[in-house]
Structure 1
Amino acid sequence: MAEVKLLGLWGSPFSRRVEMALKLKGIEYEYFEEDKKNKSPLLLKYNPVHKKVPVLVHKGKPIAESLVILEYIDDTWGDIGPPILPKTPYERAMARFWPKFIDEMCIPTLRRASWSEGDEKEKAKNEAATLLKILDVEVKGKKFFGGETLGLVDIAAGFIACWFGVMEEIVGTQILNKDEFPNLCDWIEVFNNDNFVKQNLPPRDRLVGKYEAHYQAVKQARAA
């Protein structure tokens, strides 16, 4: 029986964060692919509150919420592999701040900018540009958000580097461009072309198919 288990979804950016962290640390784990429409008894047992992935199970004890899991991984296996969080208190505080900014403000706004229509879409696009500009300034002059090595903020921002680009392609709009966000676009190029990252992102063609199906379903629902 594996000491570490992960309940996830192949196309979830939150689930992929945890897989990336485990592999960065070199932690062996057993993976369980979940079905959003038919949640397993294991998922309902280990995350009865939110009933969502990812859930990390370590020695029979579950930990939910991707950012919480990432910190748990770094705390538990701190002496193995590269650190996910920096060591000094101030740098750790900043490394915690930006993922929350991404999850609570950026991702919901980027999704609205992709899937909504009309005035709501235009408002969300303007809001998204404002938020992305903040990140553009933050990553200026850096290879990764934390400096020279991949860390917590980069792993959390993977949605912007990979998933959001696919969403823009599907809906035929572009918010994130080199002219307005040169530093963020440079970071995306570095992130997506990093050998370790490339091995741990979902297949792009499969992700395109997933979001294309979602977009068509959204349009059909609006037309009904």
Structure 2
Amino acid sequence: MRKSEMFVQCLPAINKACFTKVDKGIEETIELLKTLEAQLNDKKFFGGDSVGLVDIVATFIGYWLEVIQEVVGVELLTEEKFPRLYKWIEEYVNCSVIKEHLPPREKLLASAKTYFQQK
């Protein structure tokens, strides 16, 4: 299975884990995150030393997931559980090419709070 396909598989599991808080969804998401973390090995980005297509596909996990976890109160991706994936997130969101195109975290958090309060 290609890395980008793994990210696509994570989305329904994350949806189930965050929106329904079903244990099976949480377990499934954690297993998929373990698989993704293993793909990093000791690389800075999924493609090596520079941001590639797979990293961009993973923007949801790299930027949005932390905010969603905070809003809904589900803990899926932490530095303790996934140190390599967490390091990738730090590298990714602080990469100048990526950083200039991401919405400010405060605005994203406010939007997520509004969205989830309506659900």
What TM-score does the superposition give when structure 2 sets the normalisation length?
Answer: 0.93
SS at match of 2:47: coil
Deviation at 1:166, TM superposition (A): 0.7
Of the two structures, which has the highest relative contact order with CA contacts closer than 8 Å and spacing of 6 or more?
2
Q: Distance in 1 between matches of 2:43 and 2:58?
A: 15
The answer to whether the 8 Å contact 2:6/2:32 transfers is no
Deviation at 1:173, TM superposition (A): 2.1
Task: Write the letter of the residue equivalent to 1:133.
Answer: K
Q: Tell me the residue number matched to 2:97.
A: 196
Q: Distance in 2 between matches of 1:213 and 1:178?
A: 27
Aligned counterpart in structure 2 of residue 134 of structure 1, from 35, 49, 62: 35
Q: Distance in 1 between matches of 2:86 and 2:41?
A: 10
* C-alpha distance after superposition, 1:61-81 (max 9, x if no partner): xxxxxxxxxxxxxxxxxxxxx
The percentage of aligned residue pairs carrying the same residue is: 37
Aligned counterpart in structure 1 of residue 51 of structure 2, from 143, 146, 150: 150
The alignment yields a C-alpha RMSD, in angstroms, of 1.3
Q: Distance in 1 between matches of 2:59 and 2:111?
A: 17
Matches within 5 A, 1:1-224: 97-103=2-8, 105-117=9-21, 121-218=22-119
Moved over 3 A (4+): none
Unaligned 5+ runs, structure 2:
none
**Structure whose residues are more often strand by fraction:** 1
The answer to whether the 8 Å contact 2:17/2:29 transfers is yes
**Structure whose residues are more often helix by fraction:** 2
Task: Write the letter of the residue equivalent to 1:137.
Answer: A
Task: Write the letter of the residue equivalent to 1:172.
Answer: G
Deviation at 1:129, TM superposition (A): 0.2
Unaligned 5+ runs, structure 1:
1-93, 219-224
Q: Distance in 2 between matches of 1:101 and 1:113?
A: 16
What TM-score does the superposition give when structure 1 sets the normalisation length?
Answer: 0.51
Deviation at 1:171, TM superposition (A): 1.0
Deviation at 1:113, TM superposition (A): 1.0
